[in-house]
Each structure stands twice: as structure tokens, then as C-alpha cells.
Structure 1
Amino acid sequence: MANRPRRRRFSRTLLAALVMASVAVPLSGAARPSAVPAPVPPVLAPIRGAATPAGLAERYAANREGIRAAERTAAEHGDRRRATALRALAAPERQFLAFDGRDGGRTAEVFGDLASAERIAVLVPGSDTNLDTYQRFRAGAVSLHEELREELGERAAVVAWLGYRTPATVGPEVLTPGRAEDAAPRLASFLSGLETLRPKARVSLLCHSYGSVVCGVAASGTPAAAMADVSDIVLYGSPGAGVDGAASLRTKATVWAGRGSGDWIACVPNVSLRLPFADLGLGSNDPVSEEFGARVFAAGEAGHSDYLKPGSVALTNIARIVSGRAPSQTQSEAAEENSRA
């Protein structure tokens, strides 16, 4: 009898795999292997050493040269699509705190003036995000920065942090916390450097889809100091956070969660099962559930890739959180308003 709950959890995990595969295939059809070679990037000083506008400009220039070297390597390899994408990344106005073209790509692109920013949003992406699909990730960062500028002007900056090898939307890695466990120390180190660079800025961590697992693992397993200065952790479009609830996160940050009514991720069961060969599932409680314990904000009709779409309810509320204000509506208030309509 005692094995029945375990069998039920295992069945739910397998169901999650089938559901994710069935709904994600149309979304990931354009994905391609990330096997294009790239040179070893130059060794740069820690981010904390670029605290002045001149220091940041020097770092941006060094990474621009690294991107151009990766572009040449991609062209020599015969991958004109990757070379074209890298050429765009190397434009003079682009600002990269970090770049590594190997293994699909690792980047940290800045939007706005980081040297003077008082509000900083760090975006952590989900599955199938790499140099070949980077533009869609960047588009969300751009729209968020533009939304923040309307209220805060030049006092806001956004960092698009692609600092890990994301899992494929269709594949076994997306059902386990393994990639998140590899990414979490890198995210914590980046946030620590950012805090040293801008010690008085309010930093919000925005975590989309599988990126929520990265943020959850980083906030629950790293030394508490690594997350001490993060003001808000925002989970959106989340299949789970790698933990069972907000109370498991070793942070003083306010934890928020949102999901649009058009997001297919709601079809994925929330499970967590430890097996001899692997940990399956991304957390037993849905981040937008009462059991998880996050503050739930309204995300409107957002689909899985629409949370930072210009003009959307989700973008408005996420920007309000980053700016230090409460969302215009909580999920319960939005539901009550819809019931009266």
C-alpha cells in the first residue's frame, strides 16, 4: 500500500513528460543543434571592477571583439546564419558584460546605463534559448526596458542573462533540475558581482519558464549572502521552481508568481520525485498556487512567450514590480473583476 503514492507520483511525472512534449513540439520546431565552434573568450577582470562608465565601456569593447572573433569562426565553419546573428551582436551600440560563443552561447547584455541605474532587472530565460534563438529573448528585454523608461527614465537598466546551457523544450533535461543546478552558482556569482558594481541599486530577478528553476535553485542552495540584495524574485510562465514553496528560498526578496490564461505550461503537472538514477520533476507545488506561497500577480491572457509583449498586462505588472511598486492587479482581483463583467 505504501508504494501507491510513489507510483502515482511517478505516473504524474511521466504524464508531465508527455504533456510537455505534445504542447512544445510546435514551439521548438525551429530549434537547431548548438554545435558551431567558437574561440575561447578573452579573460576579463571581475564585473565588480567595471564600476565606472569608462570601465564598463572598456568591458563592452572587449566583449565586442570576442563576438567578432566568434563571427569569423562561424563564417569559416560555413554557418552563415550564426555569423549573421553574431555580426548583429557586435554592433557598436550593443553592450555585453559577458560573452562566450561556445556550446550554444553564454551572454549578459545590458540595456540602459548600468553605471547610473537605480533599478536593475536581471532576466533569466527558459528552454531553447541560445545564440540561434537569442533575438526573441532580447526582444523581451528591450520591451521591458522601454516600459521602465516611461516611468524611470535613465534610472533603469535591464540585463538579459543567458549564463547557462538551457535545456531543449522537448527532451529529458527539461524535466529535471540538472541544468538549473549547473546554472545556479553562475547566476549567484553574477548577482554578487552586480551588487558590488551597483551596491545601492534595487535589483529584481525575473525568471521565465525553466529559468524559474534556475532562480529557485540559486536562491535555495547558495549561501544566503548571494541573494541578500535581491529585492524581488519574479517567476512567470513557470513549470516549477525547483523547490516546494517560497519559504524554501534563502532570501529576503519578495517572491512573485504570474501565469497568463493562454500559457500551455499550466497543463504540466507539478511533481518532484527522487529516483536512484535521477530527480524528476521541478517542484511539487505550482508557483501560482496558494501552497507555494508567492504573491500572485495578474498576467492577463499571456501565452507562454508573451509575458514581456508590449502593451500586455503581464509586462505592465512586471515593470511595476521592478520599479518598486505593487502590480496594478493581483490575480484574485483580476478574477473578481472578470466575474463582475
Structure 2
Amino acid sequence: MVSRPHDSRLRRTLLATLVTASVAVPVSGAARPAAVPAPAPAVLAPLRATTPAALDERYAARRDGIRAAERMAAGHGDRRRAAVLRAMADPARHFLAFDGRDGGRTAEVFGDLSQAERIAVLVPGSDTGLDRYERFRTGARALQQALGSGAAVVAWLGYPTPGTVSPEVLTPALADDAAPRLHTFVRELSAAKPAARTSLLCHSYGSVVCARAAPGLRVADIVLYGSPGTGVDHVGRFHTRATVWAGRGADDWIADVPHVRLQLPFATLGFGADPVSKGFGARVFDAGAGGHSDYLKPGSVSLRNIALIVSGETGSEEGRHA
């Protein structure tokens, strides 16, 4: 079969990106966050209740784990990591999960989960870890404030995210490993809060994780924003009853990423169809004029519309252009 010039150009672009990333990673990876030691977290029973007493017990256990990780980071001489962990151990902050190893895994709660009628689970994209956590946390806080009382946001950093400039960001390998963890987390959360309206919000590479975790999840909505693709060519491949939404800011550079998927002998590169394209089948929402990191920026069109989706306040026709 003869390749069309456009397809050939996309393939060359994707392969050139891989080569660039392969050269850059050994340089940028010299001080990997995984090099900071941390203790193994305490093993807790699955979340089965969200009463204030049950949540306080869980939050306290995770706080102990964060303080232990802080002490180990300080002993290792990493004052920056220790300072981050010290802030996380503040009693005013609430973690359902924490593991300080390999760059860090967390699930931080914003709002009162015990009283929440609406829950948003945020799944981050590339370059998110303990040492770059504040941007992720800021977005979660902004969303919870936009949703108001009766809503909780869970910032789920449950996997080692790829670097923006790295070979991993072009392949589904990390998403394949992360998806079972996300599926388990959301399933347990839904079982503990069966009456709550739960939505899965997926940024950038996080949309690949969500697509793989989606089958069978009891969520009302799956919201993809700033997505490079999901690894499937149509929402039907998500195998979910959830409404799948997609949005992209007008100034988001992700629009220039080639929407192809190449099966090579050593890896699959690229994530296929553009989620905001008509053929993908998602319900497209207006994400405004923002860039790749602006979707949860206070006052933005995208934050307003994502909050409406989480709240279930979009009608059948209005929702197509939320």
C-alpha cells in the first residue's frame, strides 16, 4: 500500500520527536526524583467507609507516612524534598494514599469527602511528581472552589508520570501500568460513596491512563482535556457507560502533536485519533483560549465548563457545547 504524503510526514515528525527525546533524557535525567529514598507505606485496608471518623483515621495514618518520608529525605540531604513533605504533613491536608518512593504517589482530598455528593478524580499528565506537585494541587483546589460545597476533588497521582521530553511520553507503557491502579482506586471510592456523582478528569497523558482504566468503572463522566490521544480511535472502545467529553484550549501546543499510532518492533508510538475530532465521538466542550497548563486556571472558560460537567449541569444539547 502506498503511503500518502501527509501520513508519511506525520510519521517522520513522530519519529523525530522520539529521537530528540532519546538524546535529551540522559541529560535531563541525571537527578531523577526517584533517587530520594523513602520508606514503604503502611498497608491499609481498602476504603470502605467515608464517615468522618474513618477518614480521620486514614488521613492520620497517611500523615505518619509522610512524616517518615520527610525524615528520610532530610537524612539523605534533600532539603527540597523534605520541605515539600513537611508541607504535605500539615494536619489541614488530607491524603487517602501516599507513597514517597520513585518520585511519589499520592491521592489528596480537597473538600469534605464525607459529605460530598459530587466527586472529581483528577489524573495528571507528564512531569507531575512530589517535586512538581504544587501546580497539580493548585488546579485541584481551584476546581473544588468552583464546585463549591457538597463537592470533593481527589488529586490522584498514582503513577510515575513521563517527562514531557522523554521516550515514555510517546508510548502507552506507563499508562498500561497505571490503569489497574486507577481502576482499583475509583472502584473502591465509588463503592464507599455509591450515592455520589463521580467524574474522572484526565489531563494530557493522563487521558491515556483513563482510557485504559475506563472499562467497567461506575463514573458519570470521563473528561479529556489537553489530550494527545487515548490509544483508541473511538469512544466506543472505552467500554463505559460514562459520557466521554473532550476539550482543547485554543493556545494548547498539544494540537500540533501528530494523531497517529505506529506499531514498531520494539514499541507502539503515538495515541491515534484526536479526541476533539468529530469521528472520535466524544462530546466536545469549549475550553476557551488557554494553553496546555491552563485548564483549571481560576476564572477560565475551561474551569467553568469542567465544573458544570462534574456537577451534571449540562443538558443534552447544551452539553455538546458546554
Task: State if a TM-score over 0.5 links the two structures.
Answer: yes
Q: Please give the secondary structure, in 1, of the residue aligned with 2:153.
A: strand
1:262 aligns with 2:251: yes
- Are the structure 2 counterparts of residues 31 and 126 from structure 1 closer, same or farther at C-alpha, using a change threshold of 3 Å? farther
Partner in structure 1 of residue 50 of structure 2: 51
Aligned-partner Cα distance in 2 for 1:38–1:307: 32
Q: Is the alpha carbon distance of 1:307 and 1:38 closer, same or farther for their aligned partners in structure 2, counting shifts above 3 Å?
A: same
In 2, Cα distance between equivalents of 1:172 and 1:131 = 21
Displacement after TM superposition at 1:30 (Å): 11
Q: What is the CA-CA distance between 1:4 and the residue it aligns to?
A: 3.2
Q: Which residue of 2 is the match for residue 67 of structure 1?
A: 66
Letter in 1 for 2:13: L
Q: Aligned equivalents of 1:104 and 1:132: distance in 2?
A: 8
In the other structure, the counterpart of 1:288 is 276
Alpha-carbon distance in structure 1 between the residues aligned to 2:95 and 2:293: 24
Tell me the residue number matched to 1:126: 125
Distance 1:239 1:331, change over 3 A: farther
Q: Take 2:319 and 2:253, find their aligned partners in 1: how far apart are those partners?
A: 18
RMSD: 2.4
Counterpart mapping for 1:237-252 below 5 A: 237-252=226-241
| Counterpart Cα distance in 2 of 1:19 and 1:266 | 15
Q: Structure 1, residues 109-155: CA drift from partner, whole Å, max 9, x if none?
A: 00011111110000000001000000000000000000001xxx2x1
| Match in the other structure for 2:14 | 16
- Superposition pairs of residues 102-141 of structure 1, within 5 angstroms: 102-141=101-140
* Cα distance in 1 between the residues matched to 2:119 and 2:320: 28
How far apart are residue 33 of structure 1 and its match?
1.5
Residue of structure 2 aligned with 1:303, choices 291, 314, 317? 291
**Structure 2: which 5+ residue stretches go unaligned?**
none
More divergent stretch after superposition (102-111 vs 32-41):
32-41
Q: Deviation of residue 51 (structure 1)?
A: 2.8
Contact 1:273 1:281 in 2 (8 A): yes
Distance 1:68-1:128 versus aligned 2 partners, 3 A rule: same
Structure 1 unaligned segments of length 5 or more: list them. 335-341
What letter corresponds to residue 198 of structure 2 in structure 1?
Answer: V
What's the CA shift for 1:241? 1.1
Please say if residues 123 and 141 of structure 1, whose CA atoms lie closer than 8 Å, have aligned partners that are also in contact: yes
What is aligned with 1:323? 311
Name the SS of the counterpart of 2:180 in structure 1: helix
Alignment pair present for 1:88 and 2:87: yes
Identify which of 194, 205, 209 aligns with 2:200: 205
**1:192 partner letter:** R
SS state of the match for residue 4, structure 1?
coil
Partner of 1:42: 42
Deviation by residue 1:250-296 (Cα, 9 ceiling, x = unmatched):
1100000000001000010111121221111112x100000111000
Q: Which residue of 2 aligns with 1:187?
A: 182
Distance in 1 between the 2:315 and 2:82 partners? 41
| Structure 2 letter corresponding to 1:279 | T
Conserved 8 A contact 1:13-1:271: yes
Instruction: Report deviation, 1:60.
Output: 0.2
TM-score (norm 2): 0.92
The separation in 2 between residues aligned to 1:79 and 1:303, in whole angstroms, is 32
Identity of aligned residues (%): 64
